[in-house]
Amino acid sequence: MPFIANTDQQQQEMLKELNMSMDDLFAEIPEELRCKSFNLPEGISEQAVRQTLGGLAKKNSTHLTGFIGGGFYDHYIPAAVNALVSRSEFYTAYTPYQPETSQGTLQAIYEYQSMICRLTEMEVANASLYDGGTALYEAMMMALRSTRRNKIIIDDSVNPIYRVMIQSYTRNLKIELVETTNIDGLASRDAIIEKLDDKTAAVIVQNPNFFGCIEDYTDIADAAHARGALLIASCYPISLGILKTPGAMGADIVTGEGQSLGMPLSFGGPYLGFMATRSQLMRNIPGRIVGETTDSQGRRGFVLTLQTREQHIRREKATSNICSNEALCALTALVYMSLMGKNGLKDIAQLCADKASYAYNRLTAIPSVTPHFQSKWFFNEFVLDLPGNAADVIGKLVEKGFAAGFPLSRYYQGMDNSMLIGVTEKRTKQEIGMLAEALEAVL
């Protein structure tokens, strides 16, 4: 119908036109999940609302010392970050639909893109990706478009949350998604190379991987390129302060979660996905790219060089249906990286690695606590085996004031007693020692 139904009569006319009833629209929802009635209480005053919500907020465990990683990290955020990004000229800005009048917003995006390129050692970066998982999915679709192939190889050492997202997005697409199994916490190189063929569009890997292990994927990049495929690398941006970059490994598309670049955990968002690629693949990149130019008077200016969102161009030619704008989160990452600088990022990365090593040695000194993998090459996360169920132990540690780790049995079979522990620069030697004492007491 050519109108929006805003009255009961119009709704009935639309349903009649569709030859449907209102119940038909909800038929896919299981009966037990349907709302039977809206039994709402009587309204209360603003003061009463505040008191009620305040009481609910006090039930949150905000006192826990966090050692949880798995792709989202508790880093220190300098006060200047919030002070700058909360300025009204940034905070109220949205999508630059009229870019010629949005020079400040465009310059911020341009500078953000430039820093992501330097951080990853790639040639082109975009903006507007929602988070690390959707960025990885967009990279996969970009590889399919670029190679005109339909097979993707992904190792199970890639973040399982990202893999679930990819599986969900591709369930109804004609894509052959092949998953290889890690060997002792590292990507199965033999399996990946064996499955590479002329139908393969890309190989997806992660460094550091979900278990925290560090790898160099140069050999996989070479093998993929020899078969005409691309290498997609997901990475943890803080780690690039000291680790070999994806660009140096030969990656073609790099993605990651930008939350660690100045954004709080915030119960899961909003976060920031970043993407960088090589210039020859730029035409297939999703989102938007801001470029630098000069006007007719020779003055420096910024423009939306590439806009591949369906809101900007014809839907059939769009490379993505990204509809929102993550510029405020990108600005946060820009301000954070600017404040830290090259040496600051190195220092933070080194602190994370050093403190994780200290925690690893401290915790594995506890009787019956052992490392799950043989490799000791990790960045700021590692996997430990406990003498009992890891989820139960983690639950008991919560009672002692620690969010101690991530139970890997949630995503990996046979790892019921294994937990992933993450350490950032915020964790002190004293906190690590207290965690060790609490763990030993629980065990």
Helix axes 429-442, 327-364, angle to 10 degrees: 60
Least trusted range by pLDDT, from 13-22, 50-59, 87-96, 177-186 = 87-96
Query: Confidence band (pLDDT; 50, 70, 90) for 314?
Result: low
| 208-252 tens-digit pLDDT | 999 999 999 999 999 999 999 999 999 999 999 999 999 999 999
Separation CA 392–CA 443 (nearest Å): 11
| 10-37 tens-digit pLDDT | 888 888 888 988 888 888 899 888 888 8
- Per-residue pLDDT, averaged over 159-183, amounts to 95
Q: What is the pLDDT of residue 443?
A: 93
Rg (CA), the chain: 24
Residue, of 411 and 127, whose pLDDT is higher: 411
Separation CA 337–CA 125 (nearest Å): 15
User: Domain-by-domain residue ranges, the chain?
Assistant: 65-75+342-442, 79-336
Checking if the pLDDT of 311 tops 60, the result is no
Please determine whether the domains at 65-75+342-442 and 79-336 fall in the same fold group of CATH: no
Checking if the pLDDT of 6 tops 60, the result is no
| 321-375 tens-digit pLDDT | 676 668 899 999 999 999 999 999 999 999 999 999 999 999 999 999 999 999 8
- Per-residue pLDDT, averaged over 42-55, amounts to 93
What mean pLDDT value characterizes the chain? 92
CATH number, domain 65-75+342-442, options 3.90.1150.10, 3.10.180.10, 3.40.30.10, 3.90.170.10:
3.90.1150.10
| 300-310 tens-digit pLDDT | 999 888 776 65
pTM: 0.87
List all residues 6 or more positions away from 16 whose beta carbon is below 8 Å from its beta carbon.
Answer: none
| 113-122 tens-digit pLDDT | 999 999 999 9
Nearest by Cα to 276 from 155, 72, 127: 127
**∠ Cα 298 304 310 (to 5°):** 160
3-class DSSP assignment, residue 402 = strand
CATH number, domain 79-336, options 3.30.420.10, 3.40.640.10, 1.50.10.150, 3.10.180.10:
3.40.640.10
Contact predicate 307/288, CB 8 Å: yes
- Per-residue pLDDT, averaged over 59-76, amounts to 89
Q: What is the pLDDT of residue 31?
A: 87
Query: Confidence band (pLDDT; 50, 70, 90) for 58?
Result: confident
Nearest by Cα to 174 from 143, 152, 156, 153: 152
- What are the helix (H) ranges across 58-177? 79-85, 88-91, 103-120, 132-147, 160-170
**∠ Cα 375 378 381 (to 5°):** 120
Structure tokens at 320: 């993505």
Give the bridge partners for 303, in sequence order: 291
Maximal C-alpha separation, the chain: 73
Q: What is the pLDDT of residue 229?
A: 98
Query: Confidence band (pLDDT; 50, 70, 90) for 155?
Result: very high
Separation CA 181–CA 211 (nearest Å): 13
Write out the H or E segment, with its range, that includes residue 393.
helix 390-399
Neighbours of 4 (CB within 10 A): 7
- Per-residue pLDDT, averaged over 170-183, amounts to 94
Query: Confidence band (pLDDT; 50, 70, 90) for 269?
Result: confident
**How would you label 75-95 residue by residue, b for 16+ Cβ within 10 Å and e otherwise?**
bebeeebeebbeeeebeebeb
Nearest by Cα to 178 from 202, 148, 212, 161: 202
Whole-Å CA distances, 397 to 163, 198, 343, 381: 29, 50, 36, 18
Task: Classify residue 308 as exposed, middle or buried by CB count within 10 Å of its CB (0-12, 13-18, 19+).
Answer: buried
List all residues 6 or more positions away from 318 whose beta carbon is below 8 Å from its beta carbon.
Answer: 308, 309, 310, 312
Nearest by Cα to 138 from 288, 292, 332, 327: 288
Q: What is the pLDDT of residue 306?
A: 79
